[in-house]
Amino acid sequence: MFVDRVRIFAQAGKGGRGCVSFRREKFVPKGGPDGGDGGRGGNVILRADRHVDNLSNLFYEPIIKAKNGGHGMGKKMAGRAGADKIVKVPLGTVVHQLASEKFEFRNSNFESQPLIDLTREDEEFVLCRGGAGGKGNVHFKSSRNRAPRQYTDGEEGEEGYFLLELRTIADAALVGYPNAGKSTLLRKISAARPKVAAYPFTTLHPVIGVVEFPGYRRATIADIPGLIEGAHRGLGLGHEFLRHITRCRVLLFVVDVAGSEGRNPAEDLQNLRREIDLYDPTLSARSWLVIANKMDLPNTEENLKALRTRFPKLDIVPTSAVRTEGIEELKRKLAEWL
């Protein structure tokens, strides 16, 4: 299962209690206090891992607890530190703190400042810090109190509710209406194998492909589920996935230039742009390229011409993904842009 948004509860370990103890040895009468300190509680740590591609592990295990520290012991022995709990998350995970567990995914547009955005491989973030260990009675001796019975408890570990959200990291994203041929294109330009089928919403979550260019250069391209009108308001699958394009430098708009199912390619393009703009106005400032797909079908020459007349300034690449036509040209353009 692909999970790109999850709410979790995390709790760091409590520090161990300090110890009250006195030195007892055969020829050392009244040996004095020797109770050691408690160990610190374990931290809850998030670590970005390139081998993890979504948050499903947290979906199945949304309560994360690190170990408590051990209590202090006699002979000035400190308790052991509680083990840290390390949680692997995909690169591109954005972490928000939630005020309480009452957080509705659907109707809230979450806009608070994130705690962290984990984008680099092996980057770590301490989500909840473990409590410090308590002090043993050795710390409380003084000239007037030579047999102290005081100690302190370990501190509580930090805890809280958090929202983790994945924003895919890719150089470019394929966006378009369902069935435009986005997944077919990704299969042609990369080794990725997203599912392709003749019905809308075949792709249910983002898939990333790596495109190789001459000279060992490479770029990552994300295939995003099809958008429909109103996607920015949450219609279709679009809204859930629009955030995955927010990090891409280049947007690749895929239109079905054959106008299958009574579509008008020029209108499609216009609507797609509007949808993206309504979701996040900064996105329309990105570089973008238009892919006019399905050129093997009838009437496409006229439609392509109409598209070019209507958007004279746009870079439009005609392709036929099924016949592998225009793919080299597309890769050449991508190499230039990325």
Q: What's the chain's length in residues?
A: 338
Amino acid at 239: H
189-228: b (≥16 Cβ within 10 Å) or e: bbebebebeeebebbebbbbbebeeeeeeebbbbbbbbbb
Q: Is 202 in the site for ligand GTP (CB under 6 A)?
A: yes
Cα–Cα–Cα angle for 101, 116, 243, nearest 5°? 80
One DSSP character per residue, 97-121 reads: EESSS---TTT----SPPSEEE-ST
Distances from the Cα of 11 to the Cαs of 100, 131, 212, in angstroms? 14, 10, 43
Contact residue for Mg ion among 56, 119, 150, 202 (CB under 5 A): 202
Q: Is 197 in the site for ligand GTP (CB under 6 A)?
A: yes
Number of shown-chain residues binding ligand GTP (CB under 6 A): 24
Could you say which of 54, 137, 184, 300 contacts ligand GTP (CB under 6 A)? 184
CA distance 92 to 287: 21
Using the minimum distance from each CB to Mg ion, give the nearer residue, 48 or 180: 180
Residue 244 binds ligand GTP, judged by CB under 6 A: no
As measured in angstroms, the least distance from the Cβ of 251 to ligand GTP is: 15
Q: Alpha helix locations (H) across 104-236?
A: 182-189
How far does the chain reach from its first CA to its final CA, in angstroms?
Answer: 31
Q: Which of 137, 203, 220, 319 binds Mg ion (CB under 5 A)?
A: 203
The correct pick among 293, 300, 318, 330 for binding ligand GTP (CB under 6 A) is: 293
Whichever of 28 and 198 has its CB closer to ligand GTP, that residue is 198
> Which token pair is 175?
């966006």
Q: Which stretch binds ligand GTP (CB under 6 A): 11-19, 61-69, 147-155, 180-188?
A: 180-188
Partner from Mg ion, ligand GTP, none binding residue 35, C-beta < 5-8 Å depending on class? none
User: Quick one: 276 or 321, whose CB is closer to ligand GTP?
Assistant: 321
Binding residues for ligand GTP (CB under 6 A) = 176, 178-184, 196-198, 200-203, 225-226, 293-294, 296-297, 320-322
Summarize as ranges the residues that interact with Mg ion (CB under 5 A): 182-183, 202-203
